[in-house]
Structure 1
Amino acid sequence: MSNVTRKLLFSDLFKGIELDQLRIPNTLQVPDDFYQNLLDYCLERSYLNHISQWDQFAQIPTAPKMVTWLKMVRLPVHPGNIQDYDLLSRWQGVLSSLHAWGHRLLFLLNRVHGETNLYLGTCSFQKSFSSQDAIEQIREAAAGSMPGVELHAMEPEETYTQIHSTMANYRALGAITGIPSFRKDQKKGSLQTLDSLAFGIRDLQGREKDYGLLIIADPMPDEEVADTIQKMRRLGSEIHKNVNRTVTENESQGESQNKEAALGAMAGIAGGLLGACMGVSFLAGSSLMRLMSTGVGGMFGLNKQISMNFSRGISTQYLDKFAQYAEELIDKHIERLKKGRNLGLWNTGVYLLGNTRKDIHTVGGMLRSVYSGDETYLEPIRIHTLKNHSGAMEIVKNQLDLIPLVDAQEALESGFQYEQDWHLFGKAYQYLSTPMNTEELSLASSLPRRDVPGLRFVKTAVRFANNPAPLTGDAITLGKVVDTGVVQSNDYKIDPHALVRHGLVTGSTGSGKSTTCKNIIREIMDRKIPVLIIEPAKDDYIRWALEQNKILPEEQQFQIYMPGTSEIEGVSPTPLHLNPFQPGAVAGAKIDLMTRGEKLTALLNASLPVSDILPVIIDETVYQYLYLTYRNAFLSGEMEQPHTYPRLEGLKTVAKEVLRMRRYEQKVQENIGASLETRFNYLTRGSRGKILNVGISTPWEDLFGRPAVINLSRITNEKDRALIMSVLMLSLYEYRISAYEYDKAYRKEAQKNRLLHLTVVEEAHNVLMKPHGDYGGSGNPQQAVADLFTNMLSEIRSYGEGLLIVDQVPTRLIPDVIKNTNYKIVHRLTAPDDCQVMASSLALREEQKSLITALGIGNAIVCGDMDDAAAWVKMNLRKEKTHGI
């Protein structure tokens, strides 16, 4: 038969036959309910929704556990920006360490009577470890990960009073389940903390509510975690097969008019999943099992014949959204558990304690806002308020244990065995708890970041140098190095001879700077190096020196000078005499009166109100006065030291003669003479006159060659103190030069950069204040002493003299005090400008600068020229042999 004939005959066979009438409709239903219930019951754990309705939880017999507690007294925070100290990551480090050791963690936040207390408890699941060993390891882990934290080991009496007795008073119990997670749009640990809970809650009348948050976290062994991951992977593999399904319809017709429709589907979907992954007795009788085990599919077909041959195929693609979402959740849970294998996975019970069910609801709502984050949908946060007589209270309060998800009545009727695993993913899911990795647990127990009553926060979370410059030979130990608030074992030492390059000690009142200075002074005196203390205000050092004299050998006792006072604590101070014309010099050395006169002239012109011609007249008066007294010896430049020197009062007579020789008009002469007489009289009367208008100065050896204290607190005028200080410092400078040039042994030691004498200037702003200029010729002795001191700082170290400047306000001092001092010891300062100038001089980072305002008493930031960087030092408190020091 030809092709044309065959075609015509074949088409004729189908005349009057509609192919649509031959189609068999597909009545197969895709098993959506299986995956929906898998999501609800196994992954999102919706079976927890009705826990609050349970009447009785089974009391599972367990061996008693000995729990030891620590009280968290204070937490470290960054002194500047609280966000710069990652407390959350450090807390995760503590938790990870505990997991590695296999210790149960108990975290208790107890808010009682308006105070918040944090407690860490533990017991070990390892027989080789006692609870005491475990708590010691917690302390070590916390100190290592969160330097500066203070933990108090609680005695049994304290544990009973502060923990057990307060927990016994609570009458309501709740639980929180679900997976805490962070919010990606916020920095970790910034808002998701327990601050709101630690701050407390109050009713409309302002009355404080008592409540507690108890977290019980049991470390899960790695093999258990790995087994759970394997179960989830197997389940995920089975689910993946059914995410996309294809249904095919085939129709065929031949000459016998055969019609066949066949529908294919994956046989035994539910049975395969349940057999591969679930196969457990708990689910067998449950509604979940009944829903998922509904018979599905097989091969369905229908066969009809027509005596013709014709075929047509139709395929339909089905996407099961429930299966797809279940697969996604499985993958997310696997990722969580993999993180748990890194830092630890915990079976975590979060329990709320309060006096009323309303309190439980309130605290639970606050916690939900803290715990809920971007990934919490994996298992939503649920708040369960448990019935008072359900037995849950006894499990949590008395046994400090996790609540098992076993109904006591049903277990009794069915003979359920407590050790039986009924959950698809294992025993950890059979408690009123949530398996959490360490990251999630750190959020659940996120430490507060704010000061609250009962919990202190110290701004010590700053790193400083831990390795001071190594010193060989003799050294003074200032104290112990501190890092992030923790006192280290290594000492901070200074070379006593490095003080020849001077030092600055600063700090606010009561910060410990005077104690630091006294320790340095005693250490220097122990090395037989004389010390001069100049005290412009107060009388602290005078009284300290008098106490020291009671225990010091006679040759090392302080000589006491206190102008304006005849007696202090039963001791008569030695009179202080400073003849301005007498150069400072060691015994037997020659002096240069001409140079001294020039320096004195500059000092007087700076100190007295002078203008116009007066400075020239004063200069000529001083020159003539010394020349008329010593004649050729004065002109020779160097001369032997005389037994006496001219007094200041003699300047008035010489001034009149100088004016007469200048042949001024009588009126001009009288005016200038009256001005000079007034100024010279000023120098010779009152307390300053008793010091300056003398024939011979106090022996320089007594002032600069042995321990001495000069107290100027009774000199009330600042300009007078500055003038006396100028004469004193000028004489000290000259004395050191004289000793260097005259005494070969002294010069040899000075050339080795050794400290041969130390001068301490306490409350230095009284004499070394930054000058504000000389207005209208009124005289500015502060400028004179500032200029003199600036020169001394630069030059006097070459002669074996060290200067230790002490003051509360460094910005008030002349700039060279900060620039030209080697050792800088900075105690607590509060003014921003003071902090800034000292931080710059110490080359501190911004976060280190912030610590200056938070330093505790006796703590200081120290840096010298041999240090690589500044160190934080806890200063030693020197033990004296007598009281009151």
Structure 2
Amino acid sequence: MGECPQGSGTDIFMKQGAAMKAELATYQEKNEVSAVINEAVAKAEIYVRKGYLSGLDDAGILPMEKELAGIVPGNNLRLIRLDSFVYEKEQSVAEKLKTVYGALRGRGISAVLFLEGKTDRVNLYLGVSADRYDRLSSGYRTFLNSFQGIFPGCRYENMKFEESRGMLKRILPEDEKITVAAISGFPEEKTDQRNVPGERLDVLIDGMRGRPFSMILLADCMDAGEIVRARKSLESLYTQISPFQKQEVSMSEGETESYGVSVSETISRSITLSTGISTGQTKTLGTSRSEQAVEEDEQAEKHEAALQTAGTLIAAGMGGWMQAGMGGLFYAPAVTNALKKADAWMGADAARRPKSVTETEQESTADSKTETRTESAADSKAKAEGYNLGRGTTLSRSTQRSCVNRSVSGLLDQIEREIRRLDRLEHEGAFRVAGYFIAGDTETAVSAANLYRSIVSSSGGMKESSGIYQWSEREQVEQIRRYLLRGAHPVFSFGEESGFPRIQAGQPVGLSDMPAYFCLPEKSLPGFHVSSHAAFARDILCGGPGAEDTEDRRARIGCVTHMGKEDPYTEVSFGLNGLTSHLFVSGATGVGKSNFCYQLLDQAVGQGVKALVIEPAKGEYARVFGGRDGFRVYGTNVRYAPPLRVNPFAYPDGIHVLEHIDRLMAIFQAAWPLYSAMPAILKDAVEEIYRDKGFDMMVGDCPEGGEFPGFADLLEKLPEVIGRSAYSGEVKGNYTGALVTRVKSLTNGIYGTVFGREEIGDRGLFDENVIVDISRVGSEETRALIMGVLVMRLTEHRMCSGEMNSPLRHLTLLEEAHHLLRRQTGPVSADTGNMKAASAEMITNAIAEMRTYGEGFVIADQSPSVMDQSAIRNTRTKVFFMLPDRDDRRIAGDSVALTEWQQQELAKLPAGTAVVYQSQWTEPVLCRVDYYGKEKACPFIYQRTDLRGDNRKYIGQCLAVLLKNRLVDQSASTLDEELIRSLDGKMPLLDEKRARTARKVCSEYLKGTPVPVEVKKIAGDIEILLGFGGIFERCSGSAAIGEWAGKMEKEIQNQAEVSEPEAQTLVLIGIQSRIHKNREYRKLYVRYLAYCLEGRNRP
């Protein structure tokens, strides 16, 4: 048995494995695969990432094509100079700009923006350019219409061709040394459609303040087919490069070890006898040929063709689409060769197989004869013993490795992003955009370009190369200048052999990215005004069935305005009958409230509506309407207008006295600060003066032939009522000072006439066109009282004489209504119980109830916040002009459902513009109120007479009547019956007592009532008419009878137009009426009588 070979199999296996590892290591050490792939990727990456643009300022500038060079600079531009930019506060300016430039797609034109930044101001120009006039004209109309429609409030000026050329010469001067910088922007890929807020051109202008520069933005519309071709080229490029992105290597090792032993023994004996004879002949002729060749299969041919076109696809995909129409495909051979070499290393040669061909010719001839004889004998014996021993071991390992080429992967990611971007550009449209910056020095031009790049980056981002290029050599600048003068991108070249024969700085930008480039300023700058406005309804729309206002009688107020621009075709008007639900108008001083009221009154009066104007300030209505036919003006200064006469205690038939007292008390509480028990005391006194005049508190009417009380009666009654009260002396003194003093002030002077018993009458005040000018009243309390009394008397007059559910018949305008309807903002005390607020609400409720009688109220005031809430709540129509105070804006905005932006808009409304709302409208509108010109004004001219002389004449005639039977010489009498008849019925400008006495004397005389002769019967009337008490006091200091007599007679003649005998008789009657009080007057009477007799006898 032989020995088993130990370890021979293991050695062989290990030797072979070592050989495989060495071979694999050698293969991996060959970096040619990666190197070649990276070389191809690097060449393609230049196109994909636009790396060639980094050297654009070193490229040559190609001459303009003949057609472009033939255009006269400025003739292919249509521009507007934008003086002010107005945008809607609630909406995105970027979205609006996208709509503007979206209208230019597919028209073969370019959008342009010129910015002329001077030291002290800035000029901004927008417009379009085109190489054909028909395109230019239609494109400009499209641009202008879309810009006007989307930014209607902007102010601009259409530039003529000559003006455009002048602007271009300033921006691109021919004879000055300038530097041009350019920027190619690449917006960041958008992951959503949300707008990223960024900076605007105002940042650029502010950043370059004091350094003159100019900017030109050009955006050529791109054809959709061009984008499609670019996308397809990129898709092909992606397919060609993707195989080189990843490599996979698999390695395996196996070891097997086996042993075996076998033993055998054999014995054999054999005897053989053989005899044979053989004879043969052979002849052979032949020819042989062999051929071998290598043949490539069809798949290899296709692969080779693909490699040859790969570079072309790269160039077409990433170069041609960015410069379509600017040259053929380039730089393909270098990329193709690199890809072929890499493909070979990746196993492309395995696609070839060998081919063999063999040819043979042969001819043979053979003769043979064989004879054989064999004898055999054998004897055999065999013996075998054996055993087998085997042992085996098998070991195997396998490893797989993947290698990713990051350069290829990054390039593929970039291509994929570009494809997505092109998909978006194909959908929304694209522009080829570049910005050019011109300045007198390089630093300024580059600074402007850098700042602009930052602005665009903040809005859209610039992930890719976004270099800044500059040219300052005169020849280069002149070539670029020729392009820019015609609104065209300059064309550059690196030469045919470089693969970049024609390129531009302009790069494709999607429509959604255009606002990032054409970003307009959003704050005001020197020479450029920017404002934002909130949007209001563009037309009046009534909500709900039957809400339409179809009334024939209407008052036009103005027209709708939107974003600061008037819409003359959309009228704002009111149905006059709707004013019976009342109107509230408010706004700061000087913003157009009065002008609005003028318009409303003018149109209402022109359509048969009577009007009452209560004006506590300025007195303008008398100067505008006072001179019109049918208008009457009353005031509180007799030098400028006839006096107002209204008795607060009078009321029409049909009103109960207690109803009137309640309303009167509400007026007092609204006008006067009453606290504690003052209202109760005042009410008790008022009720008592009515009882004293014979009024029945149950029936509530005036006794036949009776008269209403007045403030003089209240003045006498208040101390009595206060004295009867159970309050302490101090409290009584306080009440007396607070109530009696106020009431007394209303019985003196002009207010005694205004609130006297002699009245104009309800019909004269409330059924005619009347202006009550109380602007000269100094006391706010008195103004409030007059306004309240007029409203109260108007309410009662309408309740007794008006018809239910009447259309508008009378319009009352309350100017500065806070005097009467003031909001109470202070703390509510236990004493007052906020009676002023309750009184104000009572008055406004009374106003609200008058709508059924055809009465409309216009409540005007400067501030809504000082008005009682009921005054705003009970008015259906509201008009708000500019309100600078935040509280005013909040109250006004909440009353008409304004948004927060719309409320802020109230703070900056221009004069003459107002927010108008009626309760049946769905939304408020912004209205430009028509101007009521000065030529329409008809001022009131008061024919002022000698008031003092009229009073002297009137009182003189009254005294002449009383002295008719007392004069010895009747020829000395000044009595004129015709004059008395002319004065009868007129209201003299006298205090209440004197006027009442004068009227009684005249009326009784004209009725034929005998005049008493007795002194005691006429002395009382003479005392009232002359005011003898004051005359005696003023003349008491004279000792000589002659001097005293002269003063007395002069004082009497100052008060009344009488003759000397009449004056002397009056003095004698005055002395006689005082004898019973003071015996000294008897002596005076004797002395004066002697003086008079002596004077008569004196020659």
TM-score, normalising length: structure 1: 0.81
CA apart distance, 1:70:
1.2
Q: Is the 8 A contact 2:184 2:468 kept in 1?
A: yes
Q: Distance in 1 between matches of 2:582 and 2:466?
A: 64
Residue 146 of structure 2 is matched in structure 1 by 141
Q: Is the 8 A contact 2:694 2:702 kept in 1?
A: no
Q: Does 1:596 find its partner at 2:668?
A: no
Deviates more, 1:357-366 or 1:377-386: 377-386
Alignment map for 1:66-465 (pairs within 5 Å) = 66-77=76-87, 79=89, 84-124=90-130, 128-129=134-135, 131-168=136-173, 171-181=178-188, 188-202=195-209, 208-246=210-248, 271-276=308-313, 278=315, 292=338, 295-298=341-344, 317-372=402-457, 379-388=464-473, 389-390=475-476, 391-406=478-493, 430-464=503-537
Cα distance 1:377–1:8, how it changes in 2: closer, same or farther (>3 A)?
A: farther
Q: Distance in 1 between matches of 2:848 and 2:708?
A: 30
Q: Does 1:832 find its partner at 2:886?
A: yes
Cα distance 1:352–1:865, how it changes in 2: closer, same or farther (>3 A)?
A: same
| SS of 1:101 mapped into structure 2 | coil
Q: Distance in 1 between matches of 2:493 and 2:725?
A: 118
CA apart distance, 1:272:
4.1
State the one-letter code of the partner of 2:643.
Answer: P
Q: Distance in 2 between matches of 1:327 and 1:14?
A: 47
1:876 maps to which of 922, 925, 930? 930
Residue 533 of structure 1 is matched in structure 2 by 613
**Post-superposition CA distance 1:40-86 (Å, at most 9, x none):** 4211222222222346543333142521101223333455xxxx431
Q: Distance in 2 between matches of 1:504 and 1:674?
A: 38
Cα distance 1:182–1:731, how it changes in 2: closer, same or farther (>3 A)?
A: farther
Q: Is the 8 A contact 2:666 2:843 kept in 1?
A: no
Alignment map for 1:499-538 (pairs within 5 Å) = 499-538=579-618
Residue 37 of structure 1 is matched in structure 2 by 42
| SS of 2:558 mapped into structure 1 | strand
The structure having more radius of gyration, on CA atoms, is: 2
Deviates more, 1:275-284 or 1:228-237: 275-284
Residue 307 of structure 1 is matched in structure 2 by none
State the one-letter code of the partner of 1:758.
Answer: L
Q: Does 1:756 find its partner at 2:823?
A: no
Percent identity of equivalent pairs: 20
Cα distance 1:647–1:338, how it changes in 2: closer, same or farther (>3 A)?
A: same
| SS of 1:372 mapped into structure 2 | helix
Cα distance 1:870–1:484, how it changes in 2: closer, same or farther (>3 A)?
A: same
Question: Considering only aligned residues, what root-mean-square deviation do their CA atoms show, in Å?
Answer: 4.4
CA apart distance, 1:811:
0.6
Residue 1027 of structure 2 is matched in structure 1 by none
| SS of 2:94 mapped into structure 1 | helix
Q: Does 1:684 find its partner at 2:747?
A: yes
CA apart distance, 1:830:
1.0
State the one-letter code of the partner of 2:869.
Answer: P
Cα distance 1:29–1:757, how it changes in 2: closer, same or farther (>3 A)?
A: same
Q: Distance in 1 between matches of 2:414 and 2:724?
A: 111
Residue 723 of structure 1 is matched in structure 2 by 785
Q: Does 1:648 find its partner at 2:711?
A: yes
Cα distance 1:241–1:808, how it changes in 2: closer, same or farther (>3 A)?
A: same
Cα distance 1:662–1:291, how it changes in 2: closer, same or farther (>3 A)?
A: closer
Alignment map for 1:667-746 (pairs within 5 Å) = 678-692=741-755, 694-740=756-802
State the one-letter code of the partner of 2:644.
Answer: L
CA apart distance, 1:766:
2.8
State the one-letter code of the partner of 1:121.
Answer: G
CA apart distance, 1:20:
3.0
Q: Does 1:818 find its partner at 2:854?
A: no
Q: Distance in 2 between matches of 1:368 and 1:43?
A: 21
For structure 2, the 5+ residue unaligned runs are: 255-298, 321-326, 354-395, 543-547, 940-1099
CA apart distance, 1:111:
1.3
Cα distance 1:136–1:639, how it changes in 2: closer, same or farther (>3 A)?
A: same
State the one-letter code of the partner of 1:336.
Answer: R
State the one-letter code of the partner of 1:728.
Answer: L
Q: Is the 8 A contact 2:428 2:511 kept in 1?
A: yes
Cα distance 1:730–1:138, how it changes in 2: closer, same or farther (>3 A)?
A: same
Cα distance 1:103–1:675, how it changes in 2: closer, same or farther (>3 A)?
A: closer
Cα distance 1:271–1:178, how it changes in 2: closer, same or farther (>3 A)?
A: farther
Q: Distance in 1 between matches of 2:938 and 2:483?
A: 55
**Post-superposition CA distance 1:701-726 (Å, at most 9, x none):** 22111111111111111111122222
CA apart distance, 1:218:
0.9
**Post-superposition CA distance 1:369-400 (Å, at most 9, x none):** 22337986663110001133214432344222
Cα distance 1:148–1:785, how it changes in 2: closer, same or farther (>3 A)?
A: same
**Post-superposition CA distance 1:294-353 (Å, at most 9, x none):** 7445356999xxxxxxx9999764422222222111111122222212221112221111
Q: Distance in 2 between matches of 1:141 and 1:39?
A: 42
State the one-letter code of the partner of 1:577.
Answer: R
CA apart distance, 1:695:
2.5
**Post-superposition CA distance 1:783-824 (Å, at most 9, x none):** 686255223233222222111111111111111111111101
| SS of 1:241 mapped into structure 2 | helix
Cα distance 1:483–1:342, how it changes in 2: closer, same or farther (>3 A)?
A: farther
Deviates more, 1:37-46 or 1:698-707: 37-46
Cα distance 1:166–1:706, how it changes in 2: closer, same or farther (>3 A)?
A: farther
Q: Distance in 2 between matches of 1:670 and 1:340?
A: 90
Q: Distance in 2 between matches of 1:559 and 1:453?
A: 52
| SS of 1:701 mapped into structure 2 | helix
State the one-letter code of the partner of 2:599.
Answer: N
Q: Distance in 1 between matches of 2:249 and 2:831?
A: 110
Q: Distance in 2 between matches of 1:116 and 1:665?
A: 79
Q: Is the 8 A contact 2:684 2:721 kept in 1?
A: yes
TM-score, normalising length: structure 2: 0.66
Residue 419 of structure 1 is matched in structure 2 by none
Q: Does 1:482 find its partner at 2:561?
A: yes
Cα distance 1:350–1:663, how it changes in 2: closer, same or farther (>3 A)?
A: closer
Residue 356 of structure 2 is matched in structure 1 by none
Cα distance 1:101–1:491, how it changes in 2: closer, same or farther (>3 A)?
A: farther
Q: Distance in 1 between matches of 2:313 and 2:590?
A: 75
State the one-letter code of the partner of 1:517.
Answer: C
State the one-letter code of the partner of 1:799.
Answer: Y
Q: Distance in 1 between matches of 2:910 and 2:532?
A: 10
Q: Is the 8 A contact 1:722 1:767 kept in 2?
A: yes
State the one-letter code of the partner of 2:775.
Answer: S
State the one-letter code of the partner of 1:789.
Answer: I
State the one-letter code of the partner of 2:874.
Answer: N
Q: Distance in 1 between matches of 2:237 and 2:456?
A: 28
| SS of 1:828 mapped into structure 2 | coil
CA apart distance, 1:576:
0.5
**Post-superposition CA distance 1:87-140 (Å, at most 9, x none):** 1111111111112433211112221123233211213456643x3432221121
State the one-letter code of the partner of 1:731.
Answer: R
